[in-house]
Amino acid sequence: MARTCKVIGTALAAIGVAVAVAFVIVMTRDDAYRRAELAYTRNAGNAMYELEFRGAQVRRAFEGIGVVAGILLALNGVTLLALGVVATRRPRDTEPKGEAPTRGKRREE
């Protein structure tokens, strides 16, 4: 169980980091947003440029949501990885506290 948590946690963390980095790269290389912003600031009051800029803002918001989703996925993976590490370190109790063993050992009376 602990090994499974570690493997799945590592995979989720790696995928989450990859998704976040990919969306950051997409956001930094988005020339269409920069052109729409520049056209909007140069032609204030023009409905066509304003509409184009608002569309670019919506696209930028979805890209930002992709970054946040990647970070949250990576956080989920790191949490699962930590759970696997903790489960590996703590020995598993097979008998509840306060009760005598019932299998494998003789009860001494």
pLDDT digits (tens, 9 = 90+) for 59-107: 999 999 999 999 999 999 999 999 998 888 876 666 566 665 566 555 5
Tokens at 15, concatenated:
């995928």
Over residues 2-30, mean pLDDT: 94
Whether residue 44 has pLDDT greater than 70: yes
Please give the radius of gyration of the chain, using alpha carbons only, rounded to the nearest integer. Answer: 27
In this structure, are residues 23 and 60 in contact, taking their beta carbons and an 8 Å threshold? Answer: no
Between the alpha carbon of residue 46 and those of residues 1, 39, 75, the distances in Å are: 61, 9, 43
Check residues 56 and 99 and name the one with the higher pLDDT.
56
pTM: 0.73
Looking at residue 36, its pLDDT comes to: 92
H-state helical runs in the chain: 2-28, 31-42, 47-89
